[in-house]
Every structure is written in structure tokens, then in C-alpha cells.
Amino acid sequence: AGSAPEPVPGSEPQPVLSPLTTFATFLVVTVDPGGEEAVRGLLADLAGLERAFGFGAPGSSLSCVAAVGSEVWDRLYDYPRPAELRPFTALEGARHRAPSTPGDLLFHVRARRQDLCFQLAAEIMRRLGGAVTLQDEVQGFMYLDARDLLGFVDGTENPVGDVARDAVLIGGEDPAHAGGSYVIVQKYLHDLDAWNTLPVEAQERIIGRTKATNIELDEDASHVALNTITDPDGTERDILRDNMPFGSPGRGEFGTYFIGYARTPDVTERMLRNMFLGTGTASHDRVLDFSTAVTGTLFYVPAADFLDDQPARPAAGAATSPAPAPPAPAPIPRPADGSLGIGNLNRS
Ligand code: HEM
């Protein structure tokens, strides 16, 4: 965007690093033409809503991370684009594909209580009513001792503490977006009947950990091995995963909602290329023989301060806007008596 970069006021991150909870709701929406102002208003109020619903429920760890997609950025902000904000790259492997699907906003709502996730998600959607189109909604839950529906403990090797902050939060490499992050989501559906015909030892070789005891195995073509990414100098590159199982036994739906936060989406996409396109040691990740990716979207997670005090919107018809200018909103009808049409504010 055109104007001179101004430093972000502070760089307090959104609650990206908040702990894994027992429930999560994932909402992905696209912003309708003319919906930009409602979106900006909701994003500014999000931290307040989180406090409003979470304060009276101590220990519930209610949190919400909001993230913005590539196509909507220039409609919302006259501000330099995050350096690596781009659409998710679809992958066509020999056996499996990772589609790229629409999404302008992601809301990742987490809590130890399902009702609070529901309440916050409901309020977000109420506030965005008429401004957005729902693309996907998933209610995730912690299954047993943090297992995915394939039966394996998921999340063990996530970075923690300073290592996690360093892996996830943007720093000096993009000063206008310090404290921000990138997030990739993919919704996977499992063929559990096929998976469950495999002997446990075969499942363990595919994942790269033992099933009952969660001990890492020395397998060079496993899911774990394919997702162990190192730079040429040997430094291991981490992402922060907050995957959640979801499903509907009645409809035979069993899934994993993959969500990976990273300081650069490049690390996550390197993992995905290993999984879908293979490496020297593996033609593909065999988890994919039992798991189909049905969505795939990349978002930028602004710092909390950015949402509290968002930069201006682009001027109407600004040359920076890649999309055709949305139609002007219809004038608000006013009652003929010249009042604001909101009734009598006196309580008496
Ligand atoms: C590790 C499950 C998709 C990245 C693991 C582990 C399990 C698992 C059980 C071992 C325990 C752990 O450390 O968490 C799944 C399932 C998926 C899925 C069920 C979806 C069907 C993905 C995707 C990515 C990914 C799409 C990356 C883009 C990783 C990484 C590790 C891991 C980085 C840790 C590797 C290490 O030990 O250093 N996953 N995963 N996973 N997964 Fe996945």
C-alpha cells in the first residue's frame, strides 16, 4: 500500500501462544463487498469480547486469535502488506493433493469450556451478520489424552517457552508487522475403517511414534521424519500446532483440523511439500493414504495492538486495491420525521 510505513504501536501478540485447551472452534469466512467496516469494528472489539465472556469464568482460558487472508488485506488496510502474506499454495502430488480454498478471516477460538467457545463464536458471527459469508466452521475437542482420531498423541513435539515465541512471532525481519505471525489451516477427513485394518505396528511406522506410550521411533519415512525440517546450517525449524479432532459419528465423519502457526509460512509449506510431494526417502506421507485434505488457507495474524488501533482503510478506488471497488453501500433509510430512527432513549 502507498503510505510510508509507520511502526506498529507496540508489538503485543494475540494469544497465539496460549495453551492447548479441551475445546476449539474454527471459523473461516470471506468478507462480502461492503462488509469491510463491520469487520474492522469487530476486530477492534475482539479483545474486549474475550474479556467480557472470559473474566467471569476464571480458569476457562478463553481466547480468540483472528487472522486475515491475502485477498482482503488491501480492502481493509492502507498499510504495508505483511512480507509473506499470499494465498495458500495448492499442492498436486502423485497420489494426494492439498487444495487451496477461500478464506478472508480465520477465528481460532479456544477454551476449556465448550459453552464459552460457542458464546464467543456466536457473538463474532452476530456482529459480522450481513458482512461475511461462512466458508467453514469446525468444533474441535480434545480426545482422550490429547490423541487424534487415528489414536496417536498429537502435539508432543510442539515448541514451548522462548523457543515457541521465536518460532512463531515475527521480529525485526518485518518491523511493520513485529509481534504478528502466519497461520495455515487444513481440514482433514480420515478413512478410519481403512486405518483400523492396519496392525498397530504399521500405524506406528507411519506416524513415527509408538501408539500406547508415545515414544519416538527411528523411522526415516514417517510423518514425524517428513516434518522434521532443518536449514542448511542444521538448525531445526519449528511450527506451533494446535490441531483438534472433530467429527460426527452419526455421519461417519472423523477428522483432524490442522492449524500451524509460524514466523514464516515457508516452514509450514516446506513440511507440506515433504508430505504431499515426497522427499528422497519417501514418495509421500502415508498418513495421507488415510487422510484427505479438504481445505487449505494461509492467513496473517496481526499483533494485538494492530487490531486495537488499526491503520486507515484505503481511500475509495485507491490504485492499491487489486479487486474491483465494491459497490457503494446503500444509503441508510431515515424516517421522514428527520429523527435518527432509534426510538426514544429516555427510559421513563
Ligand atoms: C507430529 C498427527 C498433519 C506437522 C505429529 C504427530 C502426530 C501427528 C500424531 C506426533 C506427535 C507430535 O509431535 O505431535 C497429524 C495428523 C495430521 C497431521 C493426524 C493430519 C491428518 C500435519 C501437517 C503438518 C504436520 C499438515 C505440517 C504442515 C507435524 C510436525 C510434527 C508432527 C512438525 C512434529 C515432528 C517432530 O517430532 O519434530 N503429527 N499431523 N502435521 N506433525 Fe503432524
Instruction: Flag whether 313 is in a domain.
Output: no
- Predicted local distance difference test score (pLDDT) of residue 10: 53
What is the distance, to the nearest Å, from the Cα of residue 236 to the centroid of all Cα atoms in its chain?
23
The candidate with the shortest Cα–Cα distance to 24, out of 164, 157, 143, is 143
pLDDT at 338 over 50: no
Q: List active site positions.
A: 154
- Predicted local distance difference test score (pLDDT) of residue 221: 95
CA of 160 to the centre of ligand 1 (A): 16
How confident is the model over 26-48, as pLDDT tens digits? 999 999 999 999 999 999 999 99
Instruction: Flag whether 91 is in a domain.
Output: yes
How confident is the model over 14-31, as pLDDT tens digits? 999 998 899 999 999 999
Look at ligand 1, atom 22, and give the residue with the nearest C-alpha. 258
pLDDT at 4 over 50: no
- Predicted local distance difference test score (pLDDT) of residue 20: 87
Instruction: Flag whether 281 is in a domain.
Output: yes
CB 296 within 8 A of CB 99: yes
How far apart, in whole angstroms, are the C-alpha atoms of residue 71 and residue 182? 15
- Predicted local distance difference test score (pLDDT) of residue 11: 85
pLDDT at 291 over 60: yes
**Number of neighbouring beta carbons within 10 Å of residue 108:** 28
- Interface predicted TM-score (ipTM): 0.98
pLDDT at 310 over 50: yes
H or E element in which residue 70 lies: helix 70-76
Q: Which atom of ligand 1 is nearest to the CA of 236?
A: 38
Look at ligand 1, atom 9, and give the residue with the nearest C-alpha. 154
DSSP secondary structure of 96-148: -EE-----SEEEEEEESSHHHHHHHHHHHHHHTTTTEEEEEEEEEE-BTTTB-
pLDDT at 263 over 70: yes
Instruction: Flag whether 5 is in a domain.
Output: no
Q: Which of 88, 258, 277, 289 to mutate to test the pocket of ligand 1 (most atoms within 8 A of CB)?
A: 258
Q: Average pLDDT of the chain? A: 91
- Predicted local distance difference test score (pLDDT) of residue 285: 98
Look at ligand 1, atom 18, and give the residue with the nearest C-alpha. 258
Query: Going by C-beta distance under 8 Å and a sequence separation of 6 or more, which residues neighbour residue 74?
Result: 1, 81, 314, 320, 321, 322, 323
How confident is the model over 124-157, as pLDDT tens digits? 999 999 999 999 999 999 999 999 999 999 999 9
| pLDDT-based confidence at residue 7 (cuts at 50, 70, 90) | very low
Instruction: Flag whether 318 is in a domain.
Output: no
- In the chain, % of residues over pLDDT 70: 88
The candidate with the shortest Cα–Cα distance to 185, out of 111, 105, 287, 263, is 105
Instruction: Flag whether 149 is in a domain.
Output: yes
Enclosing domain of residue 194:
15-308
CB 263 within 8 A of CB 182: yes
CA of 49 to the centre of ligand 1 (A): 32
The candidate with the shortest Cα–Cα distance to 29, out of 306, 317, 295, 311, is 295
| Interval 188-198 mean pLDDT | 98
Domain count for the chain: 1
- Predicted local distance difference test score (pLDDT) of residue 9: 47
pLDDT at 287 over 60: yes
Global confidence as pTM = 0.90
- CA angle (309, 169, 148) in 5-degree steps: 115
- In the chain, % of residues over pLDDT 90: 86
pLDDT at 87 over 70: yes
Instruction: Flag whether 158 is in a domain.
Output: yes
How far apart, in whole angstroms, are the C-alpha atoms of residue 174 and residue 81? 10
Q: Which of 243, 273, 286 to mutate to test the pocket of ligand 1 (most atoms within 8 A of CB)?
A: 243
| pLDDT-based confidence at residue 348 (cuts at 50, 70, 90) | very low
pLDDT at 159 over 90: yes
Beta bridge partners of 140: 24
pLDDT at 265 over 80: yes
CA of 87 to the centre of ligand 1 (A): 22
pLDDT at 8 over 70: no
Burial 33-65 (b: 16+ CB within 10 A, else e): eebbebbbebbebbbebbeebbeeeeebbbbbb
Look at ligand 1, atom 30, and give the residue with the nearest C-alpha. 227
pLDDT at 347 over 60: no
- Predicted local distance difference test score (pLDDT) of residue 216: 97
Instruction: Flag whether 317 is in a domain.
Output: no
Look at ligand 1, atom 29, and give the residue with the nearest C-alpha. 227
- Predicted local distance difference test score (pLDDT) of residue 340: 46
Look at ligand 1, atom 6, and give the residue with the nearest C-alpha. 154
Which amino acids bring their CB within 6 angstroms of ligand 1?
A: 148, 150, 152-157, 186, 188, 207, 209, 223-224, 227-228, 239, 241, 256, 258, 260, 268, 271-272, 287, 291
pLDDT at 325 over 90: no
Quick check: helix, strand or coil at residue 181?
strand
Cell for 260?
500451524
Cell for 27?
471459523
Q: Which atom of ligand 1 is nearest to the CA of 188?
A: 21
Q: Which of 182, 227, 259, 272 to mutate to test the pocket of ligand 1 (most atoms within 8 A of CB)?
A: 227
Q: Which atom of ligand 1 is nearest to the CA of 147?
A: 9
How confident is the model over 236-252, as pLDDT tens digits? 999 999 999 999 999 99
Q: How far is CA 221 from CA 184, 240, 282, 292, in A?
A: 23, 22, 5, 19
How many residues are there in the chain? 348
| pLDDT-based confidence at residue 344 (cuts at 50, 70, 90) | low
Of the listed ranges 91-100, 228-237, 307-316, 325-334, the one predicted with least confidence: 325-334
